[in-house]
Amino acid sequence: MKKLVIYLVTAAFLSFGFSNVTSAAGNTYTVKKGDTLWAISKKNNVTVNQIKSWNKLKSNTIKPNQVLKVAASSQKTSAPKQTAVKAESANAYKEITVRATAYTASCKGCSGITYTGINLKKNPNAKVISVDPNVIPLGSKVYVPGYGEAIAGDKGSAVRGNKIDVFIPNKKRALQWGSKTVTIKVYK
């Protein structure tokens, strides 16, 4: 009987004790099946590049049960300064003039999964653009006139230099977008 009680107490501690410590800290996230860095970054209000940097990731590949840091280490003495810097940098951006075309996830042979793992077929309202990562880093937040705020979450073989492709779920509307020159804002 004592062994059973000890076993149950130990099991309860292991089940609840450690998980509460992790969630209380709020600095880590355990990857679940189907998660993407983009989705995790949105849940935690950070960028994909920040998550990759904090976890020393060289690619966008993540695995179930992998524990990721989703917040920077905080230091109590410098917290006010960090807050002030964040407020200033939230408005910082660079403008780039690009040629913008549109694409859909419903073409023949298209998987609907972006390079960063966003499932466009399951998320048809996602605002995602395809970029040349040498010009616009993947995971960047971008404002495109006539489209709105989007995430640079894909890259394509035809997207080179100052060119972007905006995701539009409907083929007719994607064709209506056409090809246009726009000045976008890439937030830093």
Q: Which residue has the higher pLDDT, 161 or 1?
A: 161
**Contact by Cβ (8 Å): 98, 132:** no
Residue 35's pLDDT band (boundaries 50, 70, 90)? confident
CATH number at residue 57: 3.10.350.10
**101: its two tokens:** 């075309």
Among 70, 99, 127, the domain boundary falls at: 70
Residue 139 lies in a domain: yes
pLDDT > 60? residue 83: no
- pTM for the complete prediction? 0.55
Give the pLDDT score at 101.
Answer: 94
pLDDT computed for residue 1 by the predictor: 55
- The pairing of beta strand 128-130 with beta strand 148-154: parallel
Residues 62 and 9 in one domain: yes
Cα 74 to Cα 136: distance, rounded to the nearest angstrom: 28
- Interatomic CA distance for residues 162 and 16, integer angstroms: 51
Which tens digits make up the pLDDT trace of 155-172? Answer: 988 899 999 999 999 889
Q: Say what the pLDDT of residue 132 is.
A: 93
Q: What is the mean pLDDT of residues 146-162?
A: 91
Q: Is residue 79 part of a domain?
A: no
Domain count, the chain: 2
pLDDT score recorded for residue 185: 94
Nearest-10 Cα torsion for 171, 180, 150, 62: 70
Measure the CA–CA gap between 12 and 15, rounded to whole angstroms.
5
Are 110 and 182 part of one and the same domain? yes
